[in-house]
């Protein structure tokens, strides 16, 4: 077969190979990147489905507008307002098939082969793959527990003049990092100062444990004149409600949304109207606050359990910032007491001991840190977390 040249830029990820091993019986898996299906509000979604089919069967089952189902766009505008993003109209939002499709549409509309895009190091693997498919040359901006370093980011923007900068400011995947308020302001100022488009990918912002995170870049942009025009924001119901619904959304400059909508037309015509009307009914029923409170409490306990177990079982052989939200602990092997320092090697040994996680190196578009790992606490109960971390310690 002769495939398109663009496929030369991507390969199936190393992580997929690891996932093949996860079927082994008895494995405790911290490898996933998804929410716990036991937490889905099945009853609430069933009611929303019934409401959609009873109240608007035509719309729920018919073709729909590419921009999205209007009642859902209205609900999403209200949802965004409840999270501090004021002044957003339904018409400012397009609904996408998961936020993954928003990333794909950004690739399609913005990236020509050879274009430079700045991403965080580490960043979401599917973003790396997706942008590379469009021929992007990715540049990594370093991240610490407080998110991307704005000084380094500014240097990289000046040096590379990127087409855009892609950030996951709130509980990043895989970094778990939370961009501080001060840094958020700096990022928005950089967008204006260097006339650079910033993409804020925010599927995890609602999953905070104690205090709410600082406002999203979108919410803050009202305070930094000129920044809203240079900002794209991607949201998703996947991590808080259900990834199977495939409901995400995107806000951004009208011209860009217009082009993205055109590309979406050729891609899937529109996001499933059945899913959209279900999501709209769910939001309208006012169930989201209780659902969020429930999942936050469960993930908070799991995150705390994992952090404590890591400190107790691995001590100075591992370092990490205790996550304040999201689904991940991002950790680094220090090599103390002659323990392993290679995440991939540890991943293999860990499988033999009956525990799985994802090594960190593939999450870097360049200069991978091989000592890193991503551990998800989201889908494992607290006793199993304790046991899994004991197995991990036995593998180091
Ligand atoms: N962005 C990030 C950072 C993610 O972690 C994910 C899901 N793993 C997505 C986007 C895509 O999510 P979805 O398409 O389900 O909205």
From 102, 168, 173, mutation site for ligand 1 pocket: most ligand atoms within 8 A of C-beta: 173
Rounded Cα distance between 314 and 396, Å, is: 8
More confident site: 86 or 250: 250
pLDDT digits 0-9 by tens, 46-105: 999 999 999 999 999 999 999 999 999 999 999 999 999 989 999 999 999 999 999 999
Q: What is the DSSP letter of 4?
A: -
Rounded Cα distance between 208 and 202, Å, is: 12
Per-residue pLDDT averaged across 340-350, rounded?
A: 94
> Contact at 8 Å (CB) between 324 and 180?
no
Rounded Cα distance between 226 and 196, Å, is: 11
Rounded Cα distance between 160 and 137, Å, is: 10
Radius of gyration of the chain (CA): 21
Q: What is the DSSP letter of 152?
A: H
From 354, 348, 366, select the one nearest 390 (Cα to Cα).
Answer: 354
User: At residue 162, what are phi and psi to the nearest 5 degrees?
Assistant: -70, 160
Atom of ligand 1 nearest to the CA of 103: 10
Distances from the Cα of 197 to the Cα of 105, 159, 192, angstroms:
15, 15, 9
Query: Residue 231: in which H helix or E strand, if any?
Result: strand 231-236
Q: Is a pLDDT exceeding 70 seen at residue 14?
A: no
Atom of ligand 1 nearest to the CA of 33: 8
Per-residue pLDDT averaged across 239-267, rounded?
A: 98
| pLDDT given at position 51 | 98
Rounded Cα distance between 132 and 114, Å, is: 9
Rounded Cα distance between 92 and 73, Å, is: 9
Residues near 228 by beta carbon (within 8 Å), at least 6 away in sequence:
218, 221, 222
> Contact at 8 Å (CB) between 90 and 70?
yes
From 142, 254, 258, 251, select the one nearest 200 (Cα to Cα).
Answer: 251
Rounded Cα distance between 367 and 352, Å, is: 28
Residue 176 near ligand 1, beta carbon < 6 Å: no
Residue 354 near ligand 1, beta carbon < 6 Å: no
pLDDT digits 0-9 by tens, 158-172: 999 999 999 999 999
Which position has the token pair 């990834």?
243
Pairing type for strands 28-29 and 355-356 reads parallel
Query: Residue 97: in which H helix or E strand, if any?
Result: strand 93-97
Q: Tell me the domains of the chain and their CATH numbers.
A: 5-41+290-395 (3.90.1150.10), 42-287 (3.40.640.10)
pLDDT digits 0-9 by tens, 302-320: 999 999 999 999 999 999 9
| pLDDT given at position 10 | 86
Distance 338 CA to ligand 1 centre (A): 36
Q: What is the mean pLDDT of the chain?
A: 96
Distances from the Cα of 229 to the Cα of 222, 257, 308, angstroms:
10, 12, 43
Distance 100 CA to ligand 1 centre (A): 6
Rounded Cα distance between 353 and 94, Å, is: 46
| pLDDT given at position 24 | 80
Residue 98 near ligand 1, beta carbon < 6 Å: yes
Q: Is a pLDDT exceeding 90 seen at residue 4?
A: yes
Per-residue pLDDT averaged across 253-278, rounded?
A: 98
| pLDDT given at position 22 | 74
> pTM for the whole thing?
0.97
Q: Is a pLDDT exceeding 90 seen at residue 193?
A: yes
> Contact at 8 Å (CB) between 361 and 372?
yes
Neighbours of 76 (CB within 10 A): 27
From 181, 180, 245, 174, select the one nearest 204 (Cα to Cα).
Answer: 174
User: 156 falls in which pLDDT band (50, 70, 90)?
Assistant: very high
Question: What percentage of residues in the chain have a pLDDT greater than 90?
Answer: 93
Per-residue pLDDT averaged across 265-276, rounded?
A: 97
Neighbours of 62 (CB within 10 A): 10
Q: Is a pLDDT exceeding 80 seen at residue 223?
A: yes
Neighbours of 148 (CB within 10 A): 30
Atom of ligand 1 nearest to the CA of 172: 3
Rounded Cα distance between 16 and 320, Å, is: 25
């Amino acid at each position: 077969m002769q495939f398109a040249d663009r496929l030369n830029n991507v390969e199936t990820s190393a992580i997929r190979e690891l996932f093949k091993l996860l079927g082994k019986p008895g494995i405790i898996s911290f490898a996933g990147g998804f929410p716990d299906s036991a937490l889905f509000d099945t009853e609430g979604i069933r009611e929303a489905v019934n409401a959609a089919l009873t109240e608007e069967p035509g719309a729920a089952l018919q073709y729909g507008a590419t921009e999205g189902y209007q009642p859902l766009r209205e609900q999403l505008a209200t949802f965004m307002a409840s999270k501090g993003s004021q002044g957003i109209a339904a018409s400012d939002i397009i609904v996408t098939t998961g936020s993954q499709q928003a990333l794909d549409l950004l690739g399609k509309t913005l990236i020509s082969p050879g274009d430079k895009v700045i991403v965080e190091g580490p960043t979401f693997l599917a973003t790396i793959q997706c942008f590379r498919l469009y021929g992007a040359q990715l540049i990594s901006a370093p991240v610490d527990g407080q998110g991307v370093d704005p000084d380094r980011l500014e240097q990289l923007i000046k040096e590379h003049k990127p087409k855009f900068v892609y950030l996951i400011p709130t509980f990043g995947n895989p970094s778990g990092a939370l961009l501080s308020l001060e840094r958020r302001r700096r990022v928005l100022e950089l967008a204006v100062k260097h006339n650079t488009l910033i993409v804020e990918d925010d599927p995890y912002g609602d999953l905070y444990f104690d205090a709410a995170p600082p406002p999203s870049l979108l919410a803050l942009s009202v305070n930094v004149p000129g920044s809203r025009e240079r900002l794209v924001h991607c949201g998703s119901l996947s991590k808080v409600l259900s990834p199977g619904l495939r409901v995400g959304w995107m806000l951004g400059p009208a011209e860009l949304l217009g082009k993205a909508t055109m590309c979406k037309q050729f891609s899937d015509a529109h996001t499933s109207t059945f899913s959209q009307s279900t999501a709209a009914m769910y939001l309208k029923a006012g169930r989201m606050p209780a659902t969020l409170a429930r999942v936050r409490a469960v993930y908070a306990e799991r995150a705390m359990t994992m952090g404590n177990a890591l400190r107790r079982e691995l001590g100075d052989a591992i370092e990490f910032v205790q996550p304040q939200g999201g689904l991940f602990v991002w950790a680094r092997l220090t090599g103390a007491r002659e323990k392993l320092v290679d995440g991939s090697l540890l991943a293999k040994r860990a499988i033999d001991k009956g525990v799985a996680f994802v090594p960190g190196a593939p999450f870097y578009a360049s200069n991978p840190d091989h000592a890193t790992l991503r551990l998800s606490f989201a889908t494992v109960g607290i006793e199993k977390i304790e046991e899994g971390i004991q197995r991990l310690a036995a593998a180091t």
